């Protein structure tokens, strides 16, 4: 049932009630039909864990070398806790929204959406730079490993094969693949990624514990002064804010969202902390490289397999990130993900070319990750989720609809350019009148969960000022982390 809204025709009670009841029954039937296709809590936790365990995994031991053992654990705990909290704010206020872009636009307006869009692109661009350098390293050392078969000596750089040439080979591989229109094959190959991640984790654990045999006489320092470098890396390591809502849309029991999110963050934090601490303690006698796989000999067979696994995984992830960037970029500018082949080719030349240049002239994965995490994390992890939370909780909500079937509802529909009531009516509760007003109907007003008094005005008491101070302090930590990245 579709209702066309006119500025000159008032919406009456009977019409709204008929639509609400019919819409609710239709939605319930759809929910029952699709319930079996949704995933369990265990699958949701696993999906979140798999999404967060990315390129920064191999830089975690280097991060511990900048923080010390105790300092590394404390930094991992604090950054993980803050990222979980801000991500939970997105989950809390994101019910009924497709993604974080829509949520920012609803509560922060056009500039909020623009800030969300630009910071998301910068995060993805930083990930491309890190992936390109990782692929170049893995390709270079894997080729050297095959060249040195039958010999115990590592083969170094030559005139025809070096760390400066391997990024060019990666460019020639990635540019045509990234220009494809259909990425269904790459999506299937990307399922191999979890196997690669598990193998690398197991490889680092086994070599650190059994091969190196950690001794108490050569334990590393408890604290180091450059822990803010590790904080920048971890901000990107715990970053899942841009895709948490699409993941949780597949949740069979949405009431468990916060619990499952917390469990996933704990598992990711434990994976990072244990892997980084063991690797740092095992190889503390020498300097820890930013890409931890570079610590192993090119003649070690298990290390060659690890490098090939990472190379295959990133070779499928890199074009997918290019696809996501072009979808966000051209979708924002032209409202289509594929305007033309020449548009795609020009964008991919920029993405692959800039990644290659960074890989050749600035091959520091740890620095790329920490600057990207600190700069974009300040916006995407701190400012935007906190801004949405404060805007919805304590300030006038532009989407709150008065339940008197009067001009407020009609104006809300007109403001949203709605052609039917699906964009304005709450999709889970028959009595509610808007998807953004998640409270109950009292005294003729749609009252949100927190912050509204009985007269419909926002009550800004002690809780308001405490919340402002608390969230201001969190944002200050993000600013301090970014400043420290440039100071060190």
Contact 335, 326 (CB under 8 A): no
SS (H, E, C) 297-331: CCCCHHHHHHHHHHHHHHHHHHHHHHHHHHHHHHH
Quote the CA–CA distance of 100 and 50 in Å, as a whole number. 20
pLDDT digits (tens, 9 = 90+) for 13-46: 444 344 445 444 444 544 444 555 577 888 888 8
pLDDT for 451 equals 45
pLDDT value at residue 183: 66
Q: Give the number of other CB atoms < 10 A from CB of residue 353.
A: 12
**Average of per-residue pLDDT values in the chain:** 77
- The closest of 239, 259, 234, 238 to 248, measured between CA atoms, is 259
pLDDT at 424: 40
Report angle CA 367, 71, 488 to the nearest 5 degrees.
35
Task: Give the tens place of pLDDT for each residue, 438-454.
Answer: 443 333 333 334 444 44
Cβ count within 10 A of residue 468: 13
Asked whether 389 and 76 are in contact (CB, 8 A), the reply is no
Enter the CATH code of domain 41-376. Answer: 1.20.1740.10
Cα–Cα distance, 93 to 84 (Å, whole number): 14
Q: Show the tokens assigned to 83.
A: 């990222």
Residue in 348, 392, 373 with CA at minimum distance from that of residue 94 = 392
pLDDT digits (tens, 9 = 90+) for 129-186: 999 999 999 999 998 888 877 666 667 777 678 888 999 999 999 999 888 777 666 6
pLDDT tier for residue 213 given thresholds of 50, 70 and 90: low
Q: Would you state the structure tokens that stand for residue 170, as one six-digit string?
A: 């990666």
Structure tokens at 214: 């950690």
How much of the chain exceeds pLDDT 90, in percent? 27
Residues 6+ apart with CB under 8 A from 300: 145
The residue extents of the domains of the chain are 41-376
- Per-residue pLDDT reduced to its tens digit, 329-378: 888 888 887 788 888 999 999 999 999 999 999 988 889 999 999 998 89
Query: Is the alpha carbon torsion for 110, 116, 120, 123 positive or negative?
Result: positive
In 3D space, the residue among 138, 135, 126, 137 whose CA is nearest the CA of residue 368 turns out to be 126
Q: Is 401 left (phi over 0), alpha (psi -120 to 50) or beta?
A: beta
């Amino acid at each position: 049932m579709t209702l066309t809204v006119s500025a000159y025709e008032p919406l009456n009670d009977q019409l709204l009630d008929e639509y609400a009841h019919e819409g609710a029954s239709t939605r319930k039937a759809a929910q029952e039909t699709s319930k079996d296709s949704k995933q369990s809590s265990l699958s949701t936790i696993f999906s979140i864990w798999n999404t967060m365990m990315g390129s920064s995994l191999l830089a975690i031991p280097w991060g511990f070398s900048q923080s010390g053992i105790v300092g590394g654990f404390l930094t991992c705990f604090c950054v993980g806790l803050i990222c979980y909290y801000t991500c939970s704010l997105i989950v809390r206020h994101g019910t009924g929204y497709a993604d974080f872009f829509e949520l920012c636009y609803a509560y922060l307006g056009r500039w909020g959406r623009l800030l969300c869009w630009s910071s998301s692109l910068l995060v993805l661009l930083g990930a491309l730079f890190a992936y390109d350098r990782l692929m170049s390293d893995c390709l270079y050392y894997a080729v050297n490993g095959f060249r040195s078969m039958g010999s115990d000596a590592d083969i170094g750089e030559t005139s025809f094969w070096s760390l400066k040439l391997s990024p060019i080979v990666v460019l020639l591989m990635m540019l045509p693949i990234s220009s494809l229109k259909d990425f269904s094959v790459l999506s299937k190959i990307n399922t191999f990624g979890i196997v690669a991640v598990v193998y690398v984790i197991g490889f680092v654990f086994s070599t650190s514990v059994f091969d190196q045999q950690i001794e108490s006489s050569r334990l590393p320092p408890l604290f180091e002064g450059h822990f803010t470098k590790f904080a920048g890396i971890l901000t990107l390591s715990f970053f899942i804010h841009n895709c948490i809502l699409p993941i949780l849309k597949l949740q069979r029991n949405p009431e468990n969202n916060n619990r499952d999110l917390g469990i996933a963050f704990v598992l990711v934090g434990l994976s990072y902390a244990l892997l980084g601490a063991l690797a740092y303690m095992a190889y503390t006698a020498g300097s820890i490289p930013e890409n931890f796989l570079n610590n192993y000999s090119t003649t070690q067979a298990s290390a060659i397999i690890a490098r090939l696994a990472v190379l295959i995984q990133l070779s499928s992830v890199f074009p997918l990130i290019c696809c996501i960037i072009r979808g966000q970029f051209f979708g924002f500018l032209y409202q289509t993900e594929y305007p033309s082949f020449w548009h795609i080719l020009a964008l991919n030349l920029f993405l692959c070319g800039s990644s290659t240049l960074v890989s050749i002239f600035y091959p520091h994965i740890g620095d790329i990750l920490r600057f990207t995490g600190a700069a974009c994390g300040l916006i995407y992890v701190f400012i935007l989720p906190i801004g949405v939370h404060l805007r919805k909780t304590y300030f006038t909500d532009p989407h709150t609809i008065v339940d008197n079937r009067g001009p407020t509802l009609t104006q809300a529909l007109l403001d949203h350019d709605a052609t039917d009531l699906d964009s304005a009516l709450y999709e889970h509760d028959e009595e509610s009148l808007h998807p953004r007003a998640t409270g109950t109907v009292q005294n003729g007003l749609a009252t949100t969960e927190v912050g509204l008094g009985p007269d419909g005005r926002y009550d800004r008491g002690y809780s308001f000022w405490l919340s402002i101070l608390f969230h201001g302090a969190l944002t200050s930590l993000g600013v301090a982390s970014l400043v420290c990245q440039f100071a060190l």
